[in-house]
């Protein structure tokens, strides 16, 4: 059941320029930086992201990958798509070592599936938990663990809190899930027309969900 819930959302960030034309980058509104160095690193990586030709794009990333955690993150997700899991794990661990919490989601996915590593749901859970207060994508995926009691006790309040955090950062999937929860009374929640309308009104604003831009090559 968990696989059915995780795969549709996680597979989005595995697209690269080979299979999807990169849109013009717009910085997700949820991003905040502890120092100018992080902001400059993302800015430099985004120069590469805007290049459409795949060979030139890769050349651009490789020039900065030893020092840029966002280049490491994106080369990691690109390597996952190419099924070069050794490189993917190396890149993603480098990014995490450089304090880039967004790499946790991609590495968690590998541990969840057992691609290139021994399958380890505990590790996947911890990676998501460690980044869920920063990355809306991690929060969204972690909410499933709490709502369904996977690898942890069922904690609906925690699951809802994680969903609301993701939804507040313009994650459309989280917004739609909250609508369904309060419309259908899922997870033993009372049906709540007010909350249904609240999230439906936000969805109607059609704010672009840029949450996965951070992972795209």
Residues 54 and 2: their CA atoms lie apart, in Å, by: 33
Q: What is the pLDDT of residue 18?
A: 26
Give the CA radius of gyration of the chain: 17
The token duo for 203 is 């969805």
Q: What is the pLDDT of residues 61-77, one digit of tens each?
A: 999 999 999 999 999 99
> Regarding predicted confidence, which is higher, 103 or 11?
103
Per the domain annotation, does 18 fall within a domain?
A: no
Q: Higher confidence at residue 177 or residue 19? A: 177
Quote the pLDDT of residue 1: 42
Confidence of residue 13 (pLDDT cuts 50, 70, 90): very low
Q: Any alpha helices (H) in 132-214, and if so which ranges?
A: 136-148, 156-168, 172-184, 193-204
Residues 56 and 127 in one domain: yes
Which residue's structure tokens are 């968690």?
A: 108
- Binned at pLDDT 50, 70 and 90, residue 213 comes out as very high
pLDDT at 7 over 50: no
Mean local confidence (pLDDT), 181-195:
95
Instruction: Kindly state whether residue 19 falls inside one of the protein's structural domains.
Output: no
118 and 156 within one domain: no
User: Which pLDDT score is estimated for 37?
Assistant: 82
Name the average pLDDT for the chain: 86
Q: What is the DSSP letter of 26?
A: -
- Please identify which residue in the block is written with the tokens 């795969």: 7
For 63-126, give the secondary structure using H, E and C.
HHCCCCHHHHHHHHHHHHHCCCHHHHHHHHHHHHHCCCCCHHHHHHHHHHHCCCCCCCHHHHHH
CB 134 within 8 A of CB 166: no
The pTM of this model reads 0.82
Assess whether pLDDT exceeds 70 at residue 91.
Answer: yes
Residue 108, CB half-sphere, CA atoms under 13 Å: how many? Answer: 27
How confident is the model at residue 29, as a pLDDT? 45
Domain carrying residue 169:
147-208
Q: Is the pLDDT of residue 14 over 60?
A: no
For residues 4 and 81, the model is more confident at: 81
Looking at the structure, do residues 51 and 117 belong to the same domain, yes or no?
Answer: yes
What pLDDT does 187 receive?
Answer: 93
Cβ 120 vs Cβ 111: under 8 Å: yes
Is 25 part of a structural domain of the chain?
A: no
Domain boundary residue, one of 131, 163, 192: 131
Which residue among 100, 131, 162 closes a domain?
Answer: 131
Angle between helices 103-113 and 69-81 (to 10 degrees): 30
Q: Are 92 and 121 in contact (CB under 8 A)?
A: no
Nearest to 180 by CA among 203, 157, 214, 158: 203
């Amino acid at each position: 059941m968990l696989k059915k819930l995780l795969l549709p959302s996680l597979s989005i960030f595995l697209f690269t320029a080979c299979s999807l034309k990169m849109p013009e980058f717009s910085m997700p509104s949820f991003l905040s930086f502890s120092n100018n160095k992080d902001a400059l690193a993302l800015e430099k990586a985004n120069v590469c992201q805007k290049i459409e030709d795949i060979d030139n794009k890769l050349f651009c990333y490789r020039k900065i990958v030893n020092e840029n955690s966002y280049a490491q993150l994106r080369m990691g997700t690109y390597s996952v798509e190419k099924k070069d899991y050794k490189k993917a794990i190396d890149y993603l661990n480098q990014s995490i070592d450089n304090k880039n919490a967004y790499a946790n989601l991609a590495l968690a996915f590998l541990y969840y599936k057992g691609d290139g590593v021994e399958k380890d749901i505990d590790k996947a859970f911890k990676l998501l938990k460690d980044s869920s207060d920063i990355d809306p994508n991690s929060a969204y995926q972690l909410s499933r663990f709490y709502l369904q009691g996977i690898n942890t006790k069922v904690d609906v309040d925690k699951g809802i809190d994680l969903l609301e955090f993701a939804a507040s950062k313009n994650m459309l999937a989280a917004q739609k899930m909250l609508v369904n929860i309060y419309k259908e009374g899922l997870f033993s929640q009372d049906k709540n027309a007010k909350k249904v309308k609240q999230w439906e009104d936000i969805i109607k604003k059609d704010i672009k969900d840029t949450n996965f831009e951070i992972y795209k090559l």
